[in-house]
Structure 1
């Protein structure tokens, strides 16, 4: 039994340390013990030390029991029994329940007798009485707030919560780059975005459009002519969904994130007006921003 209690102590303390580490260490979406392996090493060493302490304490207790006389053992057992009887949790339980000990039940037994079943005249448990009083106070406050001082109804609170949630969703959409689509995408002008778009273009697009965008298998990207429409929204849609059926560009939405499509689309638009080495003849129609 003592060994079982020791195991429980080790597990409980190690779990508390583990939870504290997860709470205190900012490891992003991954657990701290995965993101930072040293956390796992620390918790493992801590558990080993706890086990060592429990083993040492158990050995010392066993040694003490071995060298004690019978009278000393009996005195120690009486002392331990008294300590268990006066444990704080037992005192707390007695205070919350006011339950009478079995020895005193004869003083509170009632005269009722139903088929040998007799009833005790116990007091109501204080925890129940306090809960009842708290519910009365809550009911009075609730009545005053919602029926006297015209507090918000559940329907009004719902509408307020939904309005707040809508604002939070819009803010999240504004900052979450990969939630954009052809209807919400905006032209990127930051150098970091254009450089990222250029890298994607050089990796995936030069085979058909050439490194300078002059065109090869695919159309020239430096002139003002567009087959499926220019502008950030049309170019984003074309890259994401693909070109004309049967002979156009493949859809890149399975390979590129929306934020990456926006970056490469913005870079493609930045090529307009540049002078490629061997420009391909114009294809499509002249596109103006008013048509987007």
Structure 2
């Protein structure tokens, strides 16, 4: 299936350490998520003294982002390999505005890196706040993945929708993948089969499907390794902070939204300003969902007239665009 998966491959190899103990970290992105992925990579390198190779699976990136990725590798003295994925191999799979095609790229990583033991998949909207040494030293034994339980309401909602019993629904934003066991179990084939069978059921696409396919094959991690709700843990212990909700910290709506607070307000920007994307401005809404989020943030901030204007734009984009 993956013989024609890669259109191009770009290797930026600047790591001085040629150690066999290289930690392999993977991302799946498009141009819209390049800047936050760069910030994620910098945050990991800042808090961890290790030999890293970052594997970026992407649909065709523009030249600006390719150059910035190369500059980031040089700046941090790390290895970054970019795989330009042929989107045709996944063309039959459903996508949503907020869940584009690259969300499936995590499934391709174990096939590309089949000679390695583990691959650490991380969503691009995650930043590292502390050392992840314990996670990088983890022994999965015969478990296919390690993952973090999702929020309690998501656990109840998705288990009910997917008819999963005696299961803890996990968030797929951080996955430690046991490559040989994953490939032997044909996870990709099984995930695609269940999604194609009933695509409407899988509201969260590959994450839902992974929970179905990997039931009882998961080593569960502490929430500090994929923290979606900082109030549920000791903030000082958070290793990976996941900006899973909308707006994102690089959106124009972020500073005025209800989810932006004294704790998280500047965490992302403080990292991004040290990356090649440091001069990027906050991003305006690109689709109807982001228009709705911006309208809501404006209303929260007391700007009712402007909020109404963006809500009208949202309605027009959604139903007439």
TM range (shorter): under 0.3
Choose between structure 1 and 2 for higher RCO, CA contacts under 8 A separated by at least 6 residues.
Answer: 2
Report which of the two structures shows the higher radius of gyration computed on alpha carbons: 1
Question: How high is the TM-score relative to the length of structure 2?
Answer: 0.16
Q: Which has a greater percent of strand? A: 2
The alignment's TM-score, normalised by the length of structure 1, stands at: 0.17
